[in-house]
Amino acid sequence: MKYLKILLLFVSICAFGQNKKIDSLKSELKKDKTDKFLDYKNLTKELLLIRNLPEYKKTVYELYDYAVRSKKLDYIARAEGFIGAYYCLNSDFKNGLIIIGKALIKAKLSKNNLAIAMIETNLGSFYYFDNNYKKAIFHLSNSTIILKKLPYDEEIRSALFQNYSHQGTTFALLGLEDLSTKAFINSKKYIKKESIIENILLKSSEINALEETKSYLKLIIKGKEFLNYIKDKKIEKDYILDGYYTIATSYLELNQIVESEKYSDSLDYKLNKFSGMETKRMISIFDFLKGKIFLKKGNLNESEKYLNKIIVLKNKDNILYADANNLKGEIYEIQKKNNLALNNYEIAYKEFLNLGNKRKTIKVVLNIIELCLNNNQYTKVKEYLPIYTKLKDEIFNEQVAKNMTAAEVKYETELKESKIKSQQLELEKEKTNKYIALTTIGILIFLSIGGFLFYRNKQKEKELQTQNTLLSLQQNINGMELQNLNQQLNPHEIKNLLASISPEIQEKAPESYRKMLKLFNITKASLNNHSITDSIENQVQQIDDFLSLEKNMLIEPLEYSIHNDIEDPNVQIPRLLLKNLVENSIKHGIKGQEKGGKITINLQKKDHFVLIEVDDTGKGRKQAISLDSGIGTSTYQKLFATLNLVNKAQATFEIKDKQQGTKVEVKIPMDYKYS
């Protein structure tokens, strides 16, 4: 499903009408009225519905001029909100969000809650399309809370529907499937059942959410429901095409090729009936789908035929061009046409890179490395390995940020809901207290006192239940935080490429072979993504290999020594801990210091603790680490902070600046629990 299409649906949701309605509104504006703001606002929404952005822009600025002349701060705020929306619709999110942000300040100064809520809705919607999911949820939640306190009408119903629909998709993007499902359920409470556009919007949003979570079986069910709903409706043809494509690709992901072909053939039939620019886009998508299907079936010639239809168009701003070249590279590799395969892979690499799609870029880079390793093209391997490492780190850091955002959003959302329940309990308490205060005394005083005591007991039960809910929530968040921290320590999988190094390179370049073997040993640690810990023995070997490679690569002189006095080699510590501490010593201490330096690593058992010391003679880096903590320090500090909540004996992580260099001390109890 196309995000831009859904964006336009969202912002136009409460203005579903026809051109004759626009003419009617323009006529209303010509009349001599005391207040024309509502007419201007409605006209603006109608113009947005028919996607007439030039006319929309003209009317928005007329609305703004009228609002300024009225000197009403809430009118000015709403008008600026529409101006900001215009920028966002033209993909200028930076300026659009700035303008809407200023509009929110004016709305708050006006103390008009409806204006505040509507601008919060706009901010949340556009932050979502700008991929700032934390702010999106924040503003959408604020808007929802305000709207529920206002007198219910059509505008508020529509805004609540929009808020919950957006939250459903946003939660899915953060991997919070339970909150996503809950938001969509709430969205259905406010849907106008007879509204085709709202039903399409909701179904499209649910499909987008399932695409993000890769729930292909659910996608097939939802896709079929979508097609069944729209089959008798007069709607845009591209929704029909998208429906068939969603089902066909989902079946293909599940390797159900027969079913995938069935829906791809239906898509082909529909394409032959339709015409226009949107159909041309779908034809290329269909060609790529058929190329994938025939490749799965092993019919390489037919697959290549469909891919060539896309490649010959040379539409380089379209990701399909890059996808088709990558898939064609795979075909050539199967056919042992290695030079042709490399050529297509490298075209795909450049296009993915230009489009900023890191995940697809890293996949094609892996294809190149694997191809070159299998064909002894070690110069190419050397060229692309650093690219792979850089991309892997960038994707890893982005995933870390996303996981932390998800943890924060889940905590804040559920805590906010618990506070709302507590407030409702307080209101109930106040009402009951008033009732008790007015209760008849006299003969019924005994019963009144009994009723009061009964109420007090029930009240304490409710308060205790709320406290337990909050305590349970905090424990759930701690558990989730631990899970997310574990995910942070899990880099993306790398294929076991270096294991295919041939005996030829060992014979002809033994030193290069030894270096690549060390690199393989370092990389191998990243493959263990099932545990948050690893043995000291493995990690000591890892840093020995790492430092050996760094010593050869660094311009600055590097000396190092490793002293491990822990007799039990299977003692567990957080995975990649030693490597990250050593890496930080080099990055913040040794690099850039002309005379270089020395790193000393000591491991020993002391008073039922594992004591780890990483001491360097670099330039001192405590300030640098505090500003650029990366994966090496902040992740482990947060990990220990979370685990210390469930451990009696506490782990510590200290950074000590010396007169020359830095010393990091980590103390971990021998019986420390990591789950």
What's the length of the chain? 675
CA-nearest of 447, 527, 520 to 489 is: 527
Residue range(s) defining the domain that contains residue 588: 514-669
Q: Calculate what percentage of the chain has a pLDDT beyond 70.
A: 75
What is residue 436's predicted lDDT score, i.e. its pLDDT? 59
Does 40 share its domain with 169?
Answer: yes
Residue 470: its pLDDT value, please? 41
The better pLDDT of the pair 49, 555 is held by: 555
State whether the Cα torsion 542-548-553-559 is positive or negative.
Answer: positive
Per the structure, the count of domains in the chain is 3
Q: Confirm whether 589 is domain-assigned.
A: yes
pLDDT tops 90 at residue 244: no
Is 642 found in the same domain as 563? yes
In a domain, 509, yes or no: no
Question: What mean pLDDT is predicted for residues 577-590?
Answer: 86
CATH number of 639's domain: 3.30.565.10
- pLDDT for residue 659: 81
DSSP-assigned letters across all residues of 447-460:
HHHHHHHHHHHHHH
Query: Which of 187-201, 277-291, 439-453 has the highest average model confidence (pLDDT)?
Result: 187-201
Nearest partner of 282 among 621, 654, 501, 1, judged by Cα: 1
Q: Are 237 and 198 in contact (CB under 8 A)?
A: no
Distances (CA, A) of 80 to 98, 104, 254: 10, 9, 48
CB 396 within 8 A of CB 524: no
Contacts of 672 (CB under 8 A, 6+ apart): 643, 647, 649, 651
The phi and psi torsions of 191 (rounded to 5 degrees) equal -75, 145
| 90-106 per-position pLDDT tens digit | 878 889 889 999 999 99
Q: Please state, in angstroms and rounded to a whole number, the distance separating the CA atoms of residues 543 and 670.
A: 22
Question: What confidence tens digit (pLDDT) does each residue in 659-672 have?
Answer: 888 899 999 999 89
Same domain, 431 and 525: no
Q: Which amino acid is at 317?
A: D
pTM of this structure: 0.57
Q: 588 and 519 in one domain?
A: yes
Whether residues 664 and 544 share a domain: the answer is yes
- Mind listing the pLDDT tens digit for each residue in 519-554? 555 555 554 455 678 889 888 988 988 888 888 878
What average pLDDT does the structure give for the chain? Answer: 79
The answer to whether residue 75 sits within a structural domain is yes
Of 105, 133, 136, which Cα lies nearest the Cα of 123? 136
Which residues lie closer than 8 Å to 151 by C-beta, 6 or more apart?
Answer: none
Q: What is the pLDDT of residue 491?
A: 41
Tell me: do 94 and 135 sit in the same domain: yes
What is the pLDDT, as a whole number, of residue 469?
Answer: 43
Residues 416 and 484 in one domain: yes
The gap from C-alpha 95 to its chain's centroid, in whole angstroms, comes to 23
Domain assignment present for residue 442? The answer is yes
Domain final residue pick, 185, 201, 227: 185
Q: Which two tokens stand for residue 322?
A: 């890059």
Q: What is the pLDDT of residue 174?
A: 86
Q: Are residues 518 and 481 in the same domain?
A: no
* More reliable by pLDDT, 585 or 429: 585
* pLDDT at residue 80, rounded to an integer: 92
pLDDT at 420 over 70: no
Domain end marker among 152, 185, 218: 185
More confident residue, 14 or 275: 275
Integer Cα distance of 634 and 628 in angstroms: 9
SS3 35: coil
Which pLDDT score is estimated for 406? 75
Please measure the distance between the N-terminal and C-terminal CA atoms of the chain and give it in whole angstroms.
39
Give domain status of residue 303, yes or no. Answer: no
For residue 614, the cross-strand partners are: 601, 664
User: DSSP class of residue 620?
Assistant: -
Q: Is residue 363 part of a domain?
A: no
Question: CB within 8 A of 53, min separation 6: which ones?
Answer: 86, 89, 90
Question: Which pLDDT score, from 0 to 100, does residue 16 have?
Answer: 40
Same domain, 110 and 177: yes
The residue assigned the tokens 């880099």 is 491
Backbone dihedral region of 376: left (phi > 0), alpha (psi from -120 to 50 degrees) or beta? left
- Flag whether pLDDT at 151 surpasses 80: yes
Q: Which residue type does 304 have?
A: E
Higher pLDDT, 221 or 458: 221
Do the domain assignments include residue 216? no
Whether 520 and 482 map to the same domain: the answer is: no
Instruction: Give yes or no: residues 416 and 560 share one domain.
Output: no
- Which pLDDT tens digit goes with each residue over 32-47? 888 888 888 888 877 7
Q: pLDDT at position 276, please?
A: 54
Q: Cα 116 vs. chain centroid, distance in angstroms? A: 27
Of 576, 482, 495, the C-alpha closest to 535 is: 576
**Integer Cα distance of 384 and 523 in angstroms:** 15
Residue for token pair 């009228």: 66
- pLDDT for 640 beyond 60: yes
C-alpha span between 136 and 147 (Å, rounded): 16
Report if residue 319 sits inside a domain.
Answer: no
pLDDT for 494? 41
> pLDDT tens, 551-574?
887 888 899 999 999 988 889 998
556 with 451, same domain: the answer is: no
Domain boundary among 157, 185, 213: 185
Tell whether the model's pLDDT for residue 495 goes beyond 50. no
pLDDT of residue 234: 67
pLDDT attached to residue 500: 46
pLDDT at res. 534: 84
Sequence letter at residue 539:
Q
